[in-house]
Structure 1
């Protein structure tokens, strides 16, 4: 473990410092064909000393050893409040970067050679930026260490308390009594702090994915302390080992936070390799597809929206086929190009199902995902059908038949119409603490009422509703082991909770089946565990609405779906979709779970002649 660094002093300039004296000319000179820049940071005797940096162009083949910095730039309000000296003149940087350099620079009379994106790339030169971005994978691979800056102390989120717990867990062997005892004895406050720590901005920056997974050696730095990156990753694995203990003692009514502990933070930066789980470089068959990477990291942030793609294409198997990184291309054109590439590369239309419930501020074609995730209701992002294991196969083994028209903005796709939406229930929107399930129960009651009015309440209908209202899965894939219940028990849980928590909905003539008091007591409907199960199911319902078609098929559809919309199966797409007729074309509303056709049943009917093939022009 790296030696402890001294604490941050109070003499660092405040964000309100005057910008007077900043350099007025560019410190950048053109780079040669095989060159990169390194920053040479002068040593200091105290953190109070100003930071002096010099830019040095070197050949990428140079034997000079250097570090590469991995960090989050921080909020836009702090982008230019940090101050360093670059080539002898004051230079504005992010507050985060200034503090990181004060912490990481040497105090033994030796300069620190380090690669930093904000300093080593001329951000105002788009041609240079494109060339250097294409080299970033190699820059991080050749670094002797990737220095991960997780940030300074943060009293508001108890960062020190979280770091103390990280160190304690790191010191416990896996599957040991010491680890179990630590979980039992630790206060909820410590784990709450750790959950917040794992949600720091660093873990949500898209460029970090590439920086981490190209590192031969990586060390995480927080405040004045550090820990090897593999040891920080293992903290999550150790918490997975004691998942049951954590759920029982702390997270019985908060499954999302439990999920964050074991799969958030460092695990949130995971990269799946297709050929091996080894730490080998991301080459050839060992690299994941861009489609998988985009799905895994679509919630990450980037200062430049185009970097949602460019930040990870370099470590994907699509690196050679994607085309050039082009910052002259607009964000809209970048996302259209990415969607076209992924459709052609995968031979599947599944990519279009990611786009739903969006405000579409980029004015993208409806079939093109906006990787910025600008949703109408951003508290929780809608959970896609692709998270279900095993995956659905609505179009069976059919091959897509597509074309891109009108400069690539119109998708022509073959398929067939299945039905028309006849009724749509109210949409569910989950907000507030997960243990507060009453708002979801109100919407559930509305869904059930719409269902029985349009389908029925026979025993076989109950089974359909039990599958449909949560999209065929009771909980997110990460929680299936915790909340896996039979469909009939799902309804018992929800009907029982309504009966106890919302008794005004249960009256003479109520459509809600009544449970006797003994059944309520035996099932402990008001227990925290049961609330957690309902909250977990609610995440499946979030930003969706129950729909019923004219032929009485029930579905879980995007919240923007409405009466009159069409349900279609497109060849080469694993999920049915909701389409809306607009003039002489179609608008994609999003994917939809339709009970009874998710395993290819509609394809069987199509081959028997029940449905007619047609071409959909989707704008």
Structure 2
């Protein structure tokens, strides 16, 4: 993205030459670390040269945060003026100072540097697309990548010293919890926005060698990565051993950033992804990268960059057909990625719907995830501990009647209509405190239990309601439900359930139930219990409502909630995708096995995407995944 504004001086603006793309040319910034002219003026001076990447001289690549595009400074490029963000100007000055003090560069040497906002003509979409496509080769060809953490502060020296100490010390021996303030210098570095941007991830991961700069001061990558690993290990130990979690939270927030813990998680993800990328043992999977970036909250100012930046790390991008194209609208990019994942393998549809269940955006078609939206703390109930080893089954287990299923996968789809939602509980008032809301949640589940009682046979209400809350995700770990969860949590649940039947708000606020309510907050975050038309209990997304239909799709190991579309007061055979669900009695195939009349599997139809211009978005047994002018999940035969 080009910086906004125009040069203020009456000096000829810099104009980019045309790169010879057939030679895979790149532009390198030519710096003279000992340029005395640059020291006498506030304008940063440099030159730009174009060279084929294959014959480029030794060069550094700069990884940095662009900063506010409205705050710009002028730089002098070969006597002509260009605008860069203030953040980049400071970064270039600090890089030059570091090079000067490095000792390995003499006064006559020039240094070549690749900087995206200067090396790429940001106003030329086709050049930008082709250069972004070369990013992996550019950063892997760089002699060293310089990760710019930000300008030097008064705390820099102490922080670097503290980080070296933490990096070389075992986590359990660093400091006890009561002396946590001693870690402040080492933790402060993670206040940097460097750890929040999506583009930083591939730049750090792909680099052969990387050195971090805090101002002109250098920090080797091993020290930074070992530091964050040690700190997270220590914080995790404190959470396990102590109930004074608030002390840790207050410490992090007092450092001036509510997100500093998240930034540390992002830095740790950089470390793990870099290790995996340079390992010969495994492929780096695109979905893993996207999910990881979403969990730690990486951001991109252009939504398309969220896909393009992360895709260059994956070894699967060629198979997905992903290539940067900034002439395309971001919704197209998001939709095409979802379609490519569905087409790629048998778990593709499951992965797309699962990602869509976690994230939503009104201006996307209903089945397409907002890949750039951060995941919430609440997991979909479609995430069993067994992952997805079974070809079919709401929880991925093998208990269902396999003989009733097709020998196939996502490219050939069958579907079974399960119950529809008949009695969702009311949504909680947003002003209620979450622990009061969850007390109401337990009471509501208990009321729904009596609606489902005739179907439940010998299952106790406590066991059933616990399974609904837990999403049955540990079903394969043992028959005794209390043995599958922490004893204290189950006992707190038992007490809270009884209390909720009698006086929910009063008892749930007691200190004894803090542990339970905290865990319940994670289990039921943005979840809405309901009873079905077949008198079973379930839990769906908060947006589910009465008359929504529950479907099981062959190849997707969790039930999906679909909403029939109405037009002019009449229902159509068209559906919008609402989300995933837990439904008691069908999570492991019981519904198929016990209700033979519901086994009417629709004839399998080939799932195709891009087969021709008129059917470019494919269909699943008549369930159409939307076209360029649609926001619906279509069906003509369900």
TM-score range, shorter chain: 0.7 to 0.9
What is the deviation of 1:294? Answer: 2.0
Cα offsets for 1:99-124 (capped at 9, x unmatched): 21111113363443211111111111
Q: 1:387 to 1:418 in 2, by over 3 A?
A: closer
Match of 2:57 among 47, 53, 64: 64
Query: Which residue does 1:410 correspond to in 2?
Result: none
1:214 equivalent in structure 2: 206
> Equivalents in 1 of 2:594, 2:260: separation in Å?
40
Please state how far the C-alpha of 1:39 moved relative to its aligned partner: 1.0
> Does the 8 Å CA contact 2:205/2:273 hold for their aligned counterparts?
no
Question: Is the 1:36–1:59 Cα contact (8 Å) retained in structure 2?
Answer: yes
The corresponding residue for 1:561 is 544
- Whole-Å separation in 2 of the counterparts to 1:295 and 1:488: 30
Following the alignment from structure 1 to structure 2, what is the Cα–Cα distance between the partners of residues 494 and 154? Answer: 50
Q: Match for 2:493 among 491, 494, 498?
A: 491
Q: Does 1:39 align with 2:24?
A: no
In structure 2, C-alpha distance between the alignment counterparts of 1:609 and 1:597, rounded to whole Å: 14
Which residue does the alignment assign to 1:612? 600
8 Å CA contact 1:38–1:114 kept in 2: the answer is: yes
Give how far 1:249 is off: 5.5
The C-alpha deviation readout for 1:400-453, integer Å capped at 9, x for no partner, is 4558xxxxxxxxx53111111111124469999xxx753443443454354345
Is 1:166–2:147 an aligned residue pair? no
Alignment of 1:21-420 (within 5 A): 21=9, 25-32=13-20, 33-43=23-33, 49-62=42-55, 64-74=57-67, 77-105=68-96, 106-107=99-100, 109=107, 110-152=109-151, 165-170=162-167, 172-174=168-170, 177=173, 179=174, 181=175, 183-187=177-181, 190=184, 194=187, 198=190, 200-242=192-234, 243-245=236-238, 247-248=240-241, 252-253=245-246, 260=261, 264-269=265-270, 280=278, 286-298=282-294, 299-323=297-321, 324-348=323-347, 349-350=349-350, 351-356=352-357, 360-362=361-363, 364-373=364-373, 380=376, 382-385=378-381, 388-391=384-387, 394=393, 399-402=408-411, 414-420=414-420
Is 2:383–2:473's contact at 8 Å kept on the other side of the alignment? Answer: no
Change (3 A) 1:495 1:176: closer
User: Partner of 1:408 in structure 2?
Assistant: none
Shift in alpha-carbon separation, 1:18–1:292, aligned structure 2, 3 A = closer
Classify 1:488/1:86 alpha carbon distance in 2 versus 1 (closer, same or farther; 3 Å): same
Task: Give 1:95 deviation, angstroms.
Answer: 2.2
Q: C-alpha distance in 1, partners of 2:145/2:40? A: 22
Question: Does the 8 Å CA contact 1:467/1:487 hold for their aligned counterparts?
Answer: no
How many residues align? The count is 547
1:278-306 deviation per Cα after TM superposition (whole angstroms, max 9, x unaligned): 66368xx7322222222222342212211
Give TM-score scaled by structure 1 length: 0.76
Distance verdict in 2 for CA 1:280–1:189, change over 3 Å: closer
Query: 1: distance between equivalents of 2:11 and 2:382?
Result: 51
Shift of the 259–303 alpha-carbon distance from structure 1 to 2, 3 Å rule, reads: closer
Structure 2 counterpart SS, 1:489: helix
Secondary structure at the residue paired with 1:73?
coil
Cα gap change, 1:487 to 1:439, in 2 (>3 Å): closer
Maintained 8 Å contact 1:420/1:550: yes
* 1:189–1:240 Cα change, 3 Å: closer
The offset of 1:366, in angstroms, is: 0.9
Q: List runs of 5+ in structure 1 lacking aligned partners.
A: 1-14, 404-412, 475-482, 500-505
Structure 2 residue 532 is matched with structure 1 residue 549: yes
Aligned counterpart, 1:539: 522
Tell me the secondary structure at the aligned position of residue 57 of structure 2: coil
By how many angstroms is 1:239 displaced?
2.9
CA contact 1:141–1:216 (8 Å) conserved in 2:
yes
User: For residues 318 and 587 of structure 1, what CA distance do their matches in structure 2 show?
Assistant: 30
Match of 1:480 in 2: none
Q: Which 10-residue stretch deviates more, 417-426 or 146-155?
A: 146-155
Q: Are the equivalent residues in 1 in contact too, given 2:549–2:563 (CA < 8 A)?
A: yes
What SS does the aligned partner of 1:288 have? Answer: coil
Taking CA–CA contacts closer than 8 Å with sequence separation of 6 or more, which of the two structures ends up with the larger relative contact order?
Answer: 1
1:136 offset after TM fit, Å? 0.6
SS of 2:460's equivalent? helix
**1:61-88, CA deviations, whole angstroms, 9 ceiling, x for partnerless residues?**
22521111112223xx444423322332
Bigger CA drift: 134-143 or 287-296? 287-296
Q: Provide Cα deviations, 1:324-366, integer angstroms capped at 9, x if missing partner.
A: 332222211111110111011122211122114766343x221
Q: Is the 8 A contact 1:41 1:113 kept in 2?
A: yes
For the structure 1 residues 182 and 62, does the alpha-carbon distance in structure 2 shift closer, same or farther, using more than 3 Å as the test? farther
Structure 2 match to 1:575 = 558
2:346–2:411 contact (8 Å) kept in structure 1: no
User: Which secondary structure state, in structure 1, belongs to the residue aligned with residue 194 of structure 2?
Assistant: helix
Three-state SS of the structure 1 residue aligned to 2:320 is coil
CA–CA distance in 2 between the matches of 1:467 and 1:430?
A: 26
Which runs of 5 or more residues in structure 2 are unaligned?
102-106, 253-258, 397-401, 475-484, 566-571, 603-620, 625-632
Contact 2:156–2:214 (Cα < 8 Å) also in 1: no
Alpha-carbon separation, structure 2, partners of 1:72 and 1:431: 37
Does the CA contact (< 8 Å) of 2:416 and 2:553 recur in 1?
yes
**Counterpart in the other structure of 1:588:** 577
Give secondary structure in 2 for the equivalent of 1:61: helix
Structure 2 CA distance for partners of 1:259 and 1:443, relative to 1, 3 Å: farther
Q: State the shift of 1:270 in Å.
A: 5.4
In structure 2, do the counterparts of structure 1 residues 491 and 340 end up closer, same or farther at CA, with 3 Å as the change threshold? same
Aligned to 2:611: none
